A = this chain, B = another copy of it.
């Protein structure tokens, strides 16, 4: 992506991305639930179609189907907010082969051994909006993008420290010293590969949706185990936490119009034409009214963490770029998240104002050094879409996890049962959430046990 691309794509004067090319449209992305749910039953209902607000089915993999690391998974569809469950999930083994050199370049000195590979594991949750298509595409695609990106750098990952040159040919004898001084480690290549994979997947989704004439976007939360470390990459408002006997460690941050206010306001400052004169980039405690004109009211702009007062002008009465608090906060009155995949065609209702320039597909990546943790039997990572976290706090989830696992040490399916129990807890059952704390959203949960699996099995 170049700045020129950004200007051509989003700013007036550039060629319009629409209308669609004249070529034949590809068929729409078919809706489906995660592959690992095939053959599964559900409780208490049976199919998506049978749901009533009080009897929506909780689905989880069939008893015979084991997910990587014996992870548990469960999901529930929303209370008729949308026709489909817009959450999606994926998991599996990642087999990373060494890149084959010597094709484009003359590098006959490199012994290519296609059998050599690195294995890891992958769990991902996608929370769709504006239709299920983007989340389905992301669940079908992101792991392949990640595999490709990792294969492109795996040579560097296998060295004790990534070499300056991927091919190993030192141009300058002090190259290792420069890499050392910058503090570049193998894990930085995995972080870079995750960042690139999210971008690549976003491009794929953009092309596929445009070709099939569909729309939509999704958040993405991914956990990857590789070489004794767990990488958590997040773009959106899902969340992953590590729950241990005496510790809760948050492994992701949420990206919403509120948490990314300054970045979003700054873009509108740099490119005011993105707001087409319809929105104000300034933040006020509430939307201003005609009576406020001439008065001094609280506000903040892109460069401010604190607040100040400004005299209200007529242009301040426009709809705010970011409006509302907490779960109600919306970007351009439209979107509740500020990072994710897709949304290439999304516009503010009845206008030509695009959302995409304000969205990032880049995830934030957290690294958990699993090999350095003195792991215990009940140490798990809980990954879930916002439907869970809207009604349960980290502390409530940790309490549910600890008491469930302590009481179910012998059950080989305990992580799956725990995932189901967490979903039930969002429905006002099991007494965890307070009265009236019921999630009407789609909710999806992975419970990933770290004990034993964390060490060795994800190694080289």
Listed in ascending order, the chain A residues whose CB lies under 8 Å from chain B are 2-4, 6, 105, 149, 152-153, 156, 162, 164-167, 169, 171-172, 174-175, 178-179, 181-182, 184, 187-196, 199, 269-272, 285-286, 289, 291-292, 294-298, 300, 303-309, 325-326, 360, 362, 364-365
Whole-angstrom CA separation of A281 from B268 in the bound complex: 22
- Measured between beta carbons, the chain B residues less than 8 angstroms from A164 are 285-286, 297-298
A179: contacting residue among B171, B285, B296, B309, CB under 8 A = B285
Min CB–CB distance A399 → chain B (angstroms)? 27
A307: contacting residue among B192, B289, B295, CB under 8 A = B192
Q: Are A304 and B3 in contact, CB atoms less than 8 angstroms apart?
A: no
Whole-angstrom CA separation of A193 from B175 in the bound complex: 47
Whole-angstrom CA separation of A169 from B178 in the bound complex: 61
Q: Are A191 and B289 in contact, CB atoms less than 8 angstroms apart?
A: no
CB-based nearest B residue for A163: B298
Q: Are A178 and B303 in contact, CB atoms less than 8 angstroms apart?
A: no
Q: Are A188 and B365 in contact, CB atoms less than 8 angstroms apart?
A: no
CB-based nearest B residue for A166: B296
| A164-B297, A165-B297, A272-B3 as given contacts; A285 in contact with B184, CB under 8 Å | yes
Q: Are A297 and B365 in contact, CB atoms less than 8 angstroms apart?
A: no
Min CB–CB distance A342 → chain B (angstroms)? 17
Q: Are A296 and B165 in contact, CB atoms less than 8 angstroms apart?
A: yes
Whole-angstrom CA separation of A460 from B286 in the bound complex: 30
CB-based nearest B residue for A185: B307
Query: 12 A-B residue contacts at CB 8 Å?
Result: A2-B269, A3-B269, A105-B294, A162-B298, A166-B297, A184-B307, A192-B304, A193-B308, A195-B306, A195-B308, A196-B308, A305-B365
Give the number of times this chain occurs in the complex, counting copies. 2
Q: Are B184 and A298 in contact, CB atoms less than 8 angstroms apart?
A: yes
Q: Are B305 and A195 in contact, CB atoms less than 8 angstroms apart?
A: yes
Q: Are A304 and B167 in contact, CB atoms less than 8 angstroms apart?
A: no
- Ranked nearest first, the 7 interchain pairs of A and B with the lowest CB-CB distance are A191-B306, A192-B306, A192-B308, A166-B296, A178-B285, A178-B286, A188-B307
A169: contacting residue among B3, B167, B289, B295, CB under 8 A = B295
- Measured between beta carbons, the chain B residues less than 8 angstroms from A300 are 192
Q: Are B3 and A303 in contact, CB atoms less than 8 angstroms apart?
A: no
Q: Are A190 and B297 in contact, CB atoms less than 8 angstroms apart?
A: no
- Measured between beta carbons, the chain B residues less than 8 angstroms from A364 are 305
- Measured between beta carbons, the chain B residues less than 8 angstroms from A195 are 303-306, 308
CB-based nearest B residue for A156: B309
Q: Are B306 and A172 in contact, CB atoms less than 8 angstroms apart?
A: no
Min CB–CB distance A146 → chain B (angstroms)? 13
Q: Are A190 and B306 in contact, CB atoms less than 8 angstroms apart?
A: yes
Q: Are A171 and B298 in contact, CB atoms less than 8 angstroms apart?
A: no
Whole-angstrom CA separation of A325 from B269 in the bound complex: 32
- Measured between beta carbons, the chain B residues less than 8 angstroms from A308 are 149, 152-153, 189, 192-193, 195-196
Min CB–CB distance A27 → chain B (angstroms)? 33
CB-based nearest B residue for A192: B306
Q: Are A285 and B175 in contact, CB atoms less than 8 angstroms apart?
A: yes
Q: Are A365 and B286 in contact, CB atoms less than 8 angstroms apart?
A: no
- Measured between beta carbons, the chain B residues less than 8 angstroms from A182 are 285, 325
CB-based nearest B residue for A7: B270
| A297-B166, A305-B191 as given contacts; A171 in contact with B270, CB under 8 Å | no
Min CB–CB distance A406 → chain B (angstroms)? 35
Min CB–CB distance A379 → chain B (angstroms)? 26
| A166-B296, A172-B289 as given contacts; A306 in contact with B188, CB under 8 Å | yes
Whole-angstrom CA separation of A169 from B150 in the bound complex: 60
Whole-angstrom CA separation of A184 from B298 in the bound complex: 9
Whole-angstrom CA separation of A270 from B2 in the bound complex: 8
Min CB–CB distance A166 → chain B (angstroms)? 4
Min CB–CB distance A165 → chain B (angstroms)? 5
- Measured between beta carbons, the chain B residues less than 8 angstroms from A298 are 156, 162, 164, 179, 184
- Measured between beta carbons, the chain B residues less than 8 angstroms from A188 are 306-307
CB-based nearest B residue for A310: B166
Whole-angstrom CA separation of A6 from B272 in the bound complex: 12
| A307-B184, A309-B152 as given contacts; A271 in contact with B194, CB under 8 Å | no
